[in-house]
């Protein structure tokens, strides 16, 4: 009982300081509920299913917020988040005497976030390049697995950026 009494004031002071200093959690959006229409991205590559992988990754990130609802119905939405996969490239970057030892996945994308009520563009990135390196060791099966892991990492990083960027734009709209 004595330890609870001695720890309680410290916890109250800590809560007061954190609450009073303007700190916020960037992954949390507590503004009014917004519906975002998120169409499948245009895929200009020969990598079939990449648009679906991006959609699934984005959906996972946007489900972290209870105040954001993804919808397939554009007429119901407040915002639209659209994008395009412009290219994917797998150039070699490191060689031994006879073969590549490491390659890099390169994904070029562009995207836009638009307010459907005002027709205002809230955020537009006309070209963004994402890269991730992976080793070529372990034969072709391991290399294909490493390539997929590298691409999955790019998609997760891209999705996180889009999620956090969208939350920031929503916060700016509510100020």
- Structure confidence at residue 132 (pLDDT): 93
Report the percent of the chain where pLDDT is more than 70: 78
Distance of CA 130 to the CA centre of its chain: 12
- At residue 28, the pLDDT reads 78
What residue segments make up the domains of the chain, in order of their start? Answer: 27-173
Tokens of 114: 């638009």
Q: Which CATH superfamily is domain 27-173 in?
A: ABC-type transport auxiliary lipoprotein component (3.40.50.10610)
The pLDDT value given to residue 143: 72
pLDDT of residue 157: 98
User: What pLDDT does residue 131 have?
Assistant: 95
How many degrees, rounded to 5, is the angle at CA 32 between CA 175 and CA 64?
110
Determine the Cα–Cα distance for residues 36 and 29; give it in Å rounded to an integer: 14
Complete DSSP assignment for 32-86 = S-EEEEEPPPEE-SS-TTHHHHHHHHHHHHHTT-TTEEEES-GGG-SEEEEEEEE
Q: Give tens-digit pLDDT for 79-129.
A: 999 999 999 997 656 666 666 667 889 999 999 999 999 999 999 999 999
| Average pLDDT over the chain, rounded to an integer | 85
CA 35/CA 75 separation, integer angstroms = 10
Question: Cβ(150)–Cβ(134) under 8 Å?
Answer: yes
Neighbours of 19 (CB within 10 A): 9
Compute the radius of gyration of the chain from its Cα atoms. Answer: 21
Bridge partner residues of 111 (DSSP): 83, 125
Give the pLDDT confidence score for residue 6 in this predicted structure.
Answer: 61
Percent pLDDT > 90 in the chain is 59
pLDDT digits (tens, 9 = 90+) for 2-27: 555 566 566 556 555 555 555 556 67
């Amino acid at each position: 009982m004595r330890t609870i009494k001695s720890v309680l004031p410290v916890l109250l002071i800590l809560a007061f300081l954190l609450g009073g200093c303007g700190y916020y959690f960037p992954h949390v959006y507590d503004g009014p509920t917004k519906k975002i229409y998120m169409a499948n991205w245009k895929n200009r590559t020969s990598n079939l299913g990449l648009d679906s992988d991006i959609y699934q990754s984005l959906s996972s990130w946007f489900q972290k917020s209870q105040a954001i609802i993804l919808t397939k119905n554009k007429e119901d939405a407040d915002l639209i988040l659209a994008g395009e996969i412009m290219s994917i490239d797998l150039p070699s970057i490191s060689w031994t005497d006879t073969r590549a030892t490491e390659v890099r996945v390169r994904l070029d994308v562009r995207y836009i976030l638009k307010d459907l009520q005002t027709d205002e563009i809230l955020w537009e990135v006309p070209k963004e390049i994402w890269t991730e390196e992976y080793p070529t060791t372990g034969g072709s099966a391991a290399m294909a697995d490493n390539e997929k892991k590298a691409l999955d990492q790019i998609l997760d990083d891209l999705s996180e950026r889009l999620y956090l960027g969208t939350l920031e734009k929503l916060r700016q709209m509510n100020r």
